Amino acid sequence: MTFAVARKTAWDTETTGPNPLEDRIVTAAFIVRGGDQKEHDFSWLINPGIPIPAEATAVHGITDEMVQVYGLNPKTALDEIANCLAYAIGQNLPVIAFNHSFDWSILHYDLIRNGLPTVHDRVGTGPLPLLDPHVIDRQYLQRLRGSGMRKLKPTAERYGVELEDWHTAEADALAALLITEALFAKYGQLNSMGPQQLYAAQKAWRAEQQAGLQQWFRTKATAEQGGAPDKVIDGSWPLIPAPRAGEA
């Protein structure tokens, strides 16, 4: 069975902000596709318990009023999301997310914040059948001109994926899944790698990619671009570690 027709899952979160260690999930989606079986779509609107910044609302359209009226209790919703991921991993289904370390990490710390077991607590620390089209695309297409071209929508366009309702969790999860199918179709060597090999490869690729980005920020980026000689870009994947005591 080729990857394009295999049973697989994908997920995405929309959040209160860009910091996976401190921000919170306000909406999430988990989808199941392929294998000549029924499609499944699950989604959650969550009351994060803190105000949603205007900048975040401008991206995903979720307001404080919406989550206060319709949002689920975070403990209920986050536990359901984690259970979906744990079930898929337990069935050895590919679990796809674009820039997986963000979604994996923000869920991890949101679960801890709410006194719930993390996905690692539920399934172990790995290797896990996780796929990250952001990391894979950067590995196989290393030179790419243009600012912002590594984001989800331009990446989707490069691989012929066309969707509406960008920046809804459901659409972004589906885009990640379709991009991954296109990557496996284009780069045949991915199909020869088993889940353990893919997991290890993505960890190594992410570390190398972020080290290169860190070097760019330290040596070439302007101050307006965020450049600084001591800039640190974490290369951990899939879980971004929390700073230890005494670290900035």
Nearest 5°: the CA angle 161, 163, 164 is: 165
d(CA 53, CA 45): 16
Number of domains in the chain: 1
Q: What is the pLDDT of residue 4?
A: 82
In this structure, is residue 238 part of a structural domain?
no
In this structure, is residue 40 part of a structural domain?
yes
In this structure, is residue 126 part of a structural domain?
yes
In this structure, is residue 116 part of a structural domain?
yes
In this structure, is residue 243 part of a structural domain?
no
Domain range for residue 151? 3-219
Q: What is the CATH number of the domain that holds 76?
A: 3.30.420.10
Q: What is the pLDDT of residue 10?
A: 98
d(CA 240, CA 227): 21
In this structure, is residue 226 part of a structural domain?
no
Per-residue pLDDT of the chain (248 residues; tens, 9 = 90+): 578 889 999 999 999 999 999 999 999 999 999 988 999 999 999 999 999 999 999 999 999 999 999 999 999 999 999 999 999 999 999 999 999 999 999 999 999 999 999 999 999 988 999 999 999 999 999 988 888 899 999 999 999 998 877 778 999 999 999 999 999 999 999 999 999 999 999 999 999 999 999 999 999 999 999 999 999 999 999 999 998 654 55
d(CA 180, CA 97): 9
Torsion of CA 224, 229, 233, 235, to 10 degrees: 140
Q: What is the pLDDT of residue 165?
A: 76
In this structure, is residue 14 part of a structural domain?
yes
In this structure, is residue 30 part of a structural domain?
yes
Tokens coding 201: 């490869």
Q: How far is CA 230 from the centre of its chain?
A: 27
Q: What is the pLDDT of residue 166?
A: 77
Q: What is the pTM of this model?
A: 0.95
